[in-house]
Structure 1
Amino acid sequence: MYHTIKTELKDNTLFIYINRPDKLNALNQQVMSELALAIDEVYSNKDIRSAVITGEGDKAFVAGADISEFLALSDQQGAELAKKGHVVFKHIEDCPKPVIAAVNGFALGGGCELAMACHFRIAATNAKFGQPEVNLGLIPGYGGTQRLTALIGKGKALELMMTGDRISAEEALQWGLVNYVVAPADLLPKATELLQKIHTKAPLAIARVIKCANASQNYAVDGFEIELNEFGACFATKDMQEGASAFIQKRPAVFTGE
């Protein structure tokens, strides 16, 4: 089905591998199209409760966009290319099921932007992050200027984007770009550990947490109003009744996503 990515469903988590290791998993239009299809499956498949995006091999998560595709583009075509990236990455960001980026190696340019579109990030100790587009006479085009600023603050984001520097996994942790740094061998196990914990929670509540958190970065909407409405909507779910009853009865809740 896929040529540039691989998928594996394990314990209700879909593992999505960007599979161009000979190109350091660089993003091209085929990768973006296939990634969009994989995320569609996360949305629609009831057996999938979460996803992990990572890179094939141990050198790179995604080392950037495939620059060979850029040389023949006009300004209008460049904008269209960026628009496609925006759509795919927003689809990841808005996914009602948790999506973790497991960053193994280089996450540069479009790779860093892909990681930031995920709900949070775990980095291997060998991970490197950066937005080096200025070295090519470009800027981040898949939402990087916005998400990086939201995650690490305007000053640090501007420094990273204007210098084109790379930062280590430990620096990314200090700056708030990643949640955890682990040994490469522990990367996917750590993601699995976190997701298995999340799987014990109410799926509809998880989806609403994601929606409300995303609203905090959308100045076109009132995030507080969305939170109020989503909080109220929880009371119409069987999961809220189950969660409250289980708490009172001092037993583990069994959520059904209803």
Structure 2
Amino acid sequence: MQPNGAEAIVVTREGAVAVLTLNRPQRMNAINNAIRGGLPDALAALDEDPEVRAIVIHGGEGRGFCVGADITEPRAPRSPVAVRREMMGRAWVDSFDRCATPVIAAVHGFCLGGGLEIALACDIRMASPDASFSLPETGLGLIPGAGGTQRMHRILGLGRTLDLLLTGDRIDAAEAHRIGLVTRLAKDRESLLAEAVELAARIAARAPAATVYVKEAARSGADLHLAAGMALERSLFALLSGTADKTEAAAAFAEKRPPRFTGE
């Protein structure tokens, strides 16, 4: 339960950018059923809104982005077979894979376990200098269950991923940036959200259809053989070649003015 009826997920808007805040500061945004259900619903609603062109996920004002599963949440005992059956269905974190809108994780403080798996599912990860990252599950007799073993090696490569998975070592923001786990470092904790929103606004100002398609080409192509990925890229390129935004971009360049994209 949230104190005073507070929502576990809070959504605000700054122009074409939506900010999705995890809102369990008293539990360092530990993942409970409210987050498991609320996060996919919020992402789906924002993805369907044509006025939203970029999304930032933030950990709010607490001590961390997210510390993983809330182990204090009461759950009825289940057999390993029942747990596996549940997890083999559509997982809540898969909602990121269904989101066509670009998503930026703005990470501060603790980003552990399932919290890191949320960040890994985002398209861009920005961190404040105080951020720390770990997948500690093997020390708890488990393995990551929301994509940690699959998404991380697609970002870092197998060797570095196994190092982090097998040891459970916690790394700081500087090391995370050095190895490519995060792509941008904010100046400080206080400016993190503003910097992430500014980055999202820059993305939102670009041609909407092209932004969606370039994300699709890169994400889907990562799981394809090169020839299939190239075919996908060419197909999406062709779909954009006759759009009004493509024509507008050419006109704006010739007239030395900013383009006025409409998404058409």
Q: TM-score, normalised by structure 2?
A: 0.90
Tell whether the 8 Å contact from 2:44 to 2:99 is kept in structure 1 after alignment: no
Deviation at residue 208 of structure 1 after TM alignment:
0.5
| Bigger mean CA deviation after superposition, 166-175 or 52-61 | 52-61
Mapping for residues 227-246 of structure 1, pairs under 5 Å: 227-246=233-252
Q: SS of the counterpart of 1:185?
A: coil
| Counterpart residue number, 2:158 | 154
Deviation at residue 241 of structure 1 after TM alignment:
1.2
Q: SS of the counterpart of 2:206?
A: coil
| Counterpart residue number, 2:230 | 224
Match of residue 74, structure 1, among 74, 79, 98:
79
The one-letter code sitting in structure 2 at the alignment partner of 1:113 is E
Q: SS of the counterpart of 2:238?
A: helix
Q: 1:219 to 1:28 in 2, by over 3 A?
A: farther
1:100-138 Cα offsets, whole Å, 9 max, x none, are 100011111110000011111110111111111101111
Tell whether the 8 Å contact from 1:58 to 1:104 is kept in structure 2 after alignment: no
| Counterpart residue number, 2:256 | 250
| Counterpart residue number, 1:207 | 212
| Counterpart residue number, 1:52 | 56
Q: TM-score, normalised by structure 1?
A: 0.92
State the 4+ residue runs in structure 1 displaced beyond 3 angstroms.
68-71, 80-84
Aligned length: 257
Deviation at residue 91 of structure 1 after TM alignment:
2.4
Give the whole-Å Cα distance in 2 for the aligned partners of 1:98 and 1:110: 20
Q: 1:255 to 1:4 in 2, by over 3 A?
A: same
Q: 1:135 to 1:185 in 2, by over 3 A?
A: same
Give the whole-Å Cα distance in 2 for the aligned partners of 1:80 and 1:4: 26
1:170 equivalent in alignment to 2:174: yes
Gaps of 5+ in 1: none
Q: 1:145 to 1:228 in 2, by over 3 A?
A: same
Tell whether the 8 Å contact from 1:105 to 1:127 is kept in structure 2 after alignment: yes
Give the whole-Å Cα distance in 1 for the aligned partners of 2:174 and 2:70: 27
1:142 equivalent in alignment to 2:146: yes
Give the whole-Å Cα distance in 2 for the aligned partners of 1:2 and 1:232: 47
Mapping for residues 20-59 of structure 1, pairs under 5 Å: 20-59=24-63
Q: What RMSD over aligned residues (CA atoms) do the two structures have, in Å?
A: 2.0
Identity %: 37
Gaps of 5+ in 2: none
